Chain A
Amino acid sequence: MKIFVPLDSAAKALGADEVAEAIARAAVARDLDVQLVRNGTRGMVWLEPLVEVETPEGRIGYGNVTSDQAADLLDGRLNSLGRVEDIDWFARQTRLTFARCGLIDPLDLDDYAAHGGLVGLRRAMDMTRAGIVQEVLDSGLRGRGGAGFPTGIKWKTVAEAEASQKYIVCNADEGDSGTFADRMIIEGDPFSLIEGMAIAGLGVGATRGYVYLRSEYPDAIAILTQAVKIARQRGLLGPDVLGSGRAFDMEVRTGAGAYVCGEETSLLNSLEGRRGTVRAKPPLPALQGFLGQPTVVNNVISLATVPVIFERGARHYADFGLGRSRGTVTLQIAGNVKRGGLFETAFGMTLGEVVNDIGGGTASGRPVKAVQVGGPLGAYMPVSKFDTPMGYEEFDRQGGLIGHAGLVVFDDTADMLRMARFAMEFCAIESCGKCTPCRIGAVRGVETIDRIAQGDAAAIPLLTDLCETMRDGSLCALGGFTPFPVMSALTHFPDDFATLQEAAE
């Protein structure tokens, strides 16, 4: 009897370890031969811990299992959800990047290969550098970290640069609230990231890679470190990648709690052992990145998507999507929402469908007030903008951004002035200090919002002006995008900014 209990952090946070132990104990007590597999999560966090039992009919799921249900589970007295693949929330997805996540044992390389793993890398090994880069260009893949820059163009720049050493750096500093896709894929299918980085290495001629992984993710660090070790033992990494005669190896590095290090140039500084301050561009990291050498800096999801592009072909990937947003988007539905989790689908679904239809509305049962899309630097979208399709340009036109595709739902008890103040406060705490609009602007922003809260209407144009300065004058997205949550809160929820003033009138 094969039973799957996820080891994903979200599942563990909801008791998966205790459930796994209880099942093991109950199996011993019944003298049952149970093979317990700790898989990644299927992404349905609302059902975690989601235990699966392998049967001739397929894998049968049991949702929200508690440790005292272990005996009932083994004795067949627990109500099931049916086959996991048939659960509507799961069945409606297009899982390309996350195809294996939750299906396999994350550290079993043979299981990985049995489910399509390494096919992409083997195909890339027979291609020229230019051919590899062209494949990524043709797929239309754009950086999933937030900026949406075409991945292939970045690779092309690095591939064409002349240098004795080039690097692949994976940005796993997933600091945005409402996002957890990087963590989930690293915990649930780490070899896909390793394979993606190896393909990138072959494509641009880089022999060394680093994953800059945030310290807030200790489970992900442990799993990826183990996966790298296994990959090295099995010849997937090292001087002769899968017998190709070409070298690629990588290391996992731990961040140290600075949000700004998710910005690629501060990440590079941090990786070099410096303060994580932002570098002015140019020079582009693609030409002078880590230790001054040509460097590809890509997000986890971008790199983890590369293997499936090579496995099934660029055409197949590019066939999904909307406009210039090709392929799939890994939506992370979070916050005050009934059915939260990771939902991978082609670009193009509307915000309202995601929140109401997939997410099921709020967890509290109250009306939705706002949805912050794209992390702490993303706009608060009001319900009136729920018809906006999920796509880079589509969100841009509505004054928002998709970012890393995290959505945080708020119900009508949310105080948007307080959320705007928090955005400024967060920027003030996390500013690297390099540029004035961000370092000073954020502090003044908190003060100005406090004035508004005290009923000073004259402070509103001041805040608007300050936001313009921050947006136009900041060196990176931290100062430059903090105006998104602030101004969207002010524009779409003016009532929250006028309470005291109105009371006085």
Chain B
Amino acid sequence: MQVHAPAPTEEEIRGVVMPLASLEGPLLPMLHALQDAWGYVPQEAVPVLADILNLGRAEVHGVISFYHDFRDHPAGRHVLKLCRAEACQSMGGHALAESTLQRLGIGWHGTTPNGAVTVEPVYCLGLCACAPAAMVDGRVVGRVDDARMDRILSEVGA
């Protein structure tokens, strides 16, 4: 993810989303494609999407802001998702999350000062029989204890 990359141009945005324009219900696939390309959904994309899909800008903004997945600014170089749901709580997930955030000195959705890692809450990774669970850049980790968390954090350079 390009933390200090310049804002994308309209041409670049169109290049990413236009191949999806013929889908039925194309907006979510387009937003995912934008986030895949830039690590977040750039503000500059709102008028472009509104134009392509014949929607109001407010409508496009409303869709982006509805979903937890879409970021309006870049995340750190790595994203660590910690599950907060009940199954993980039953195995000490709450304490694990608290101690992890405290160690990194950030809150939920925060990024470490060195830009290494952003920590996000997630409600269920479907790893409920090997809780507590985490996901590092799309890679799943189960039965996370302090030792496993140490290893994760050192891997991402936090």
Chain A residues with CB under 8 Å of chain B are 9-10, 12-14, 45-46, 48, 174-180, 182-183, 215-219, 251, 253-259, 270-277, 290-291, 332-337, 340-342, 363, 372, 376, 406, 408-411, 414, 419, 422, 426, 430, 432
Of B5-13, B99-107, B110-118, B123-131, the stretch lying at the interface with chain A is: B123-131
Residues of B within 8 A of A419 (CB): 86, 89
Flag if B87 contacts A178 (CB, 8 Å). Answer: yes
Of the residues A14, A254, A426, contact of B143 by C-beta under 8 Å: A14
Residue on A with the closest CB to B125? A216
Residues of A within 8 A of B140 (CB): 9-10, 12-13, 219
Restricting to B21-80, which residues have a CB under 8 Å from any CB of A? 23-29, 31-32, 53, 62-63, 66-70
Q: How far does the alpha carbon of A219 sit from the alpha carbon of B114 in the complex, in Å?
A: 29
Known: A175-B124, A332-B129. A273 touches B142 (CB 8 A): no
Known: A273-B25, A273-B53, A273-B63. A217 touches B126 (CB 8 A): yes
Chain B residues with CB under 8 Å of chain A are 23-29, 31-32, 53, 62-63, 66-70, 81, 85-91, 122-131, 133, 135, 138-143
Q: How far does the alpha carbon of A254 sit from the alpha carbon of B31 in the complex, in Å?
A: 11
Q: How far does the alpha carbon of A217 sit from the alpha carbon of B122 in the complex, in Å?
A: 11
Flag if B130 contacts A272 (CB, 8 Å). Answer: no
Residues of B within 8 A of A340 (CB): 128-130
Q: How far does the alpha carbon of A219 sit from the alpha carbon of B137 in the complex, in Å?
A: 12
Flag if A334 contacts B28 (CB, 8 Å). Answer: no
Flag if B67 contacts A276 (CB, 8 Å). Answer: yes
Of the residues A179, A257, A272, A410, contact of B68 by C-beta under 8 Å: A257
Q: How far does the alpha carbon of A180 sit from the alpha carbon of B126 in the complex, in Å?
A: 5
Q: How far does the alpha carbon of A182 sit from the alpha carbon of B124 in the complex, in Å?
A: 13
The number of inter-chain residue pairs (CB within 8 angstroms) is: 152
Q: How far does the alpha carbon of A276 sit from the alpha carbon of B125 in the complex, in Å?
A: 20
Flag if A179 contacts B126 (CB, 8 Å). Answer: yes
Known: A9-B140, A273-B25, A276-B66. A332 touches B128 (CB 8 A): yes
Residues of B within 8 A of A290 (CB): 24-25
Q: Kindly provide the distance from the CB of B133 to the nearest chain A CB, expressed in whole angstroms.
A: 6
Q: A10-B129, A175-B124 are in contact. List 5 more A-B contacts (CB 8 A).
A: A10-B127, A176-B124, A217-B126, A256-B68, A406-B128
Interface of A is mostly: mixed
Residues of B within 8 A of A422 (CB): 86, 89
Known: A337-B129, A422-B89. A258 touches B53 (CB 8 A): no
Flag if A256 contacts B69 (CB, 8 Å). Answer: yes
Q: How far does the alpha carbon of A430 sit from the alpha carbon of B68 in the complex, in Å?
A: 9
Residues of A within 8 A of B135 (CB): 216
Flag if B127 contacts A9 (CB, 8 Å). Answer: yes
Residues of B within 8 A of A430 (CB): 123
Residues of B within 8 A of A178 (CB): 85-87, 128
Between A and B, 18 residue pairs with Cβ closer than 8 Å are A9-B127, A46-B129, A177-B85, A215-B69, A216-B122, A216-B124, A216-B125, A255-B69, A258-B67, A271-B28, A273-B63, A334-B128, A334-B131, A335-B86, A336-B90, A337-B129, A363-B91, A408-B90
Q: How far does the alpha carbon of A335 sit from the alpha carbon of B89 in the complex, in Å?
A: 8
Known: A259-B123, A271-B25. A13 touches B69 (CB 8 A): no
Known: A14-B142, A14-B143, A215-B69. A253 touches B126 (CB 8 A): no
Residues of B within 8 A of A12 (CB): 139-140
B24, B67, B123, B126: residue with the most chain A Cβ atoms closer than 10 Å: B126
Of the residues A180, A219, A259, A409, contact of B90 by C-beta under 8 Å: A409
Q: Kindly provide the distance from the CB of A225 to the nearest chain B CB, expressed in whole angstroms.
A: 12
